[in-house]
């Protein structure tokens, strides 16, 4: 494995399995197993979990104010984190739940120095609560944490598309897939798979972003570039 430290961004939908929404034990177990295979290569792992299987702030636009709606979304990531932590512990690996939204009885509050120590001691970190602020997404949180922990790569796993396309492949049959795209092209053409704040942060901190479908193969294969797309500097 050419990378020493990775930040995995996993959408909340990965935890819903075949359900319409919510949490599925088997899906959490399968995800933990995949993470353990990657862990066993010796790489250090941080995970940023989404909450879309439970709640997305944007979905409440017409009913609630944005800030409380996003707070529900951030709390959803906490619930997902508890589930993933349990599942990872069940495969025998020490995983710590780290939150940006204070919740001391449930998870450790985010502290950079402590997180770095956990990582160097071989613990998997599950970052939840997003950035702790509304108006952001867990993609941006992933770019932020990847920058802070000096990850060599950010691997974003989606549940619907399998890489970066010129337009949404679910709507347009002539959408063209890109294996490799520059940060600049992602920003200029607003290629929608990742939010633009996240791309900007990764560009500034020179962190390559791999995009793949969670079900296309293993995390190891994804990091080896066997499928998916990559966003990096030109040349």
* 185-224 binders of ligand UDP (CB under 6 A): none
Q: How far apart are CA 31 and CA 40, in angstroms?
A: 14
- Cα–Cα distance between 141 and 119 in angstroms, integer? 18
Residues 26-65 that bind ligand UDP (CB under 6 A): 50-52, 56-58
Residue 59 CB, nearest distance to ligand UDP (Å)? 8
Strand ranges (E), the chain: 5-10, 44-49, 95-99, 108-109, 124-128, 153-158, 164-165, 177-178, 180-182, 209-213, 229-232
Q: Applying CB under 6 A, does 137 fall inside the site for ligand UDP?
A: yes
- Of 74-82, 115-123, 179-187, 219-227, which part binds ligand UDP (CB under 6 A)? 74-82
Residue 141 lies near ligand UDP (rule: CB under 6 A)? yes
Torsion of CA 61, 63, 65, 70, to 10 degrees: -60
- Comparing CB distances to ligand UDP, the nearer of 111 and 176 is 111
* Among the residue ranges 110-118, 129-137, 179-187, 217-225, the one whose residues contact ligand UDP (CB under 6 A): 129-137
Q: Is 228 an interacting residue with respect to ligand UDP (CB under 6 A)? A: no
- Name the helix (H) or strand (E) containing 197: helix 196-204
Give phi and psi for 210, each to the nearest 5: -100, 135
What are the residues binding ligand UDP (CB under 6 A)?
Answer: 11-13, 50-52, 56-58, 70, 73-74, 76-77, 130-131, 133-134, 136-138, 141
């Amino acid at each position: 494995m050419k990378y020493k430290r990775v930040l995995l961004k996993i959408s909340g939908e990965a935890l819903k399995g075949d359900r319409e929404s919510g949490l599925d034990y088997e899906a959490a177990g399968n995800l933990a197993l995949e993470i353990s295979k990657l862990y066993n290569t010796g790489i250090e792992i941080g995970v940023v979990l989404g909450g879309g299987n439970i709640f997305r702030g944007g979905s409440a636009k017409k009913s609630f104010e944005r800030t409380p709606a996003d707070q529900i979304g951030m709390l959803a990531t906490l619930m997902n984190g508890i589930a993933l932590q349990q599942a990872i512990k069940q495969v025998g690996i020490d995983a710590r739940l780290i939150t940006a939204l204070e919740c001391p009885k449930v998870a450790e509050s985010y502290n950079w120095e402590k997180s770095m120590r956990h990582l160097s001691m071989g613990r998997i970190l599950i970052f939840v609560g997003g950035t702790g602020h509304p108006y952001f997404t867990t993609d941006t949180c992933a770019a932020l944490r990847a920058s802070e922990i000096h990850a060599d790569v950010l691997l974003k796993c989606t549940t619907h598309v399998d890489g970066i396309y010129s337009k949404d492949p679910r709507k347009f049959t002539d959408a063209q897939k890109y294996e490799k795209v520059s940060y600049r092209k992602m920003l200029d053409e607003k290629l929608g798979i990742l939010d633009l704040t996240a791309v900007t942060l990764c560009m500034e901190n020179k962190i390559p972003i791999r995009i793949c479908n969670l079900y296309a193969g293993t995390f190891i294969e994804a990091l080896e570039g066997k499928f998916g797309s990559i966003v990096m500097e030109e040349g």
